[in-house]
Amino acid sequence: MSEQSRFLDKHTPPHIITLVIVTGAGALNMNIALPSLPGIATYFGVSYSYAQLLISAYLAATAAVQLIIGPLSDRFGRRPVLLACIGIFLVASLVCIFAPNFQILLVARLVQTVIVAGLVLSRAAVRDMHEPARAASLFGYITMGMAVVPMVGPAIGGVLDEMFGWQASFLVSLLFGCLAFGLVISDMGETNKHPSANFAAQFRAYPELIRSRRFWGYALSAAFTSGSFFAFLGGAPYVSVTHLGLSPSEVGFYFALTAVGYMAGNFISGRYTERFGINSMLLSGNVISALGMVASILTFAAGSNHPLAFFGYMIFIGFGNGISLPSANAGIVSVRPHLAGSAAGLGGALMIGGGAGLSVLSGAVLSPESGAYPILYIMLISAIAGALMALYVMHVARQVALEANEPARQ
């Protein structure tokens, strides 16, 4: 780190605790309401597929918002943009709690997507301070700590839903957002020491990023890697209730298995990325995810219908994502360091946008007769595609190395 972090000192770079909290605020808000989707549909008298827009449309809007947040932070700095976004999130959360109908709830939920600034700008801030391998290692540790939030989020949401109704989940998100806001004010010093002069100059530099094959390789690998998880988010509540007969609180506790795997993968990433390199970690995580889905499909084919036949193997998805995503994100923001915020935003948009599509698809293909197979096949294909993109990045890296040794061919 170019400057030593001191916790609760707004004149130094943010402490890792602050980065964990601001990143976790978005993760918590995305999934704490998952066990409540069937209840929300009943409360407002809408279909489950309509209520599921609270997840799929949320993901799509999150993708679009990231396209704006990244460039704004490159121009105006990480700290002011993050504070503004968290403030908007707090207002939107209040509207969600008191929404009189589903349409207002959905609109407020979409406004809540600005909390993704915590994820985007924590990545950009780490890249401001560190080189790629060290940044990937820190991403692993940050998201390992952050994984505690989504691990307990659905479990808490399920219990709160049964005790107090679906509004309680949004109240918890509001309180967590208040904590994040306070930490950014008191701890996060500015890390963007060289903001772009204006938006015109910044967007003139964009083609440099867009033309990078390595950027697209990392971004698409991140999109497919996380796509398997987002497909799980879109279809798992339906599978849980319709095919496995679970209550909201049981759904929440089974969801925690994925986060346990994710946290373990993040630990491996933080420990070994500097030794093995980001490309090897990127490939390994996707292979692990794919093997887990194959095992789940075979277990169902053998006649098992226990919840662990579905959720037990989701540990592999969490573990694989935990290994791959820190390296993918480090690659995305390291291709063009002077555009770290914009790269984080565009890469995040591709990742979340692809996830939104897979979330919608997984919800659409499930039926009372289908069982869990459609969602498992979607997750398997997504993991395989992520591995292929990792191989592509490795191929481009070899080409670049050969060209560096043969200047006459450049």
In a domain, 8, yes or no: no
In a domain, 305, yes or no: yes
Locus of tokens 């659409």: 364
In a domain, 180, yes or no: yes
Q: What angle do CA 403, 405, 410 make, to 5 degrees?
A: 35
**Average pLDDT over every residue of 256-271:** 83
Position 149 scores a pLDDT of: 67
Residue range of the domain that includes 183: 16-409
Start-to-end C-alpha separation, the chain: 34
DSSP class of residue 23 equals: H
In a domain, 1, yes or no: no
Position 87 scores a pLDDT of: 96
Position 128 scores a pLDDT of: 79
In a domain, 10, yes or no: no
Phi-psi region of 98 (alpha: psi -120 to 50; beta: other; left: phi over 0): alpha
In a domain, 175, yes or no: yes
In a domain, 32, yes or no: yes
* Spatial contact of 255 and 31, defined as CB atoms under 8 Å apart: yes
In a domain, 403, yes or no: yes
Closest CA to 119 of 377, 352, 370, 315: 352
Closest CA to 85 of 4, 231, 184: 184
> What's the rounded Cα separation, in Å, for the pair 250 and 79?
39
Which pLDDT tens digit goes with each residue over 54-105?
887 887 888 788 878 878 888 888 999 999 999 999 999 999 999 999 999 9
What tokens does 172 get?
């918890």
> What's the rounded Cα separation, in Å, for the pair 26 and 85?
11
Supply the CATH number for residue 91's domain. 1.20.1250.20
H helix intervals, 32-166: 37-44, 48-51, 53-76, 78-97, 102-111, 117-129, 132-146, 148-164
Percent of the chain surpassing pLDDT 70: 91
Total number of domains constituting the chain: 1
Q: How confident is the model at residue 109 (pLDDT cuts 50, 70, 90)?
A: very high
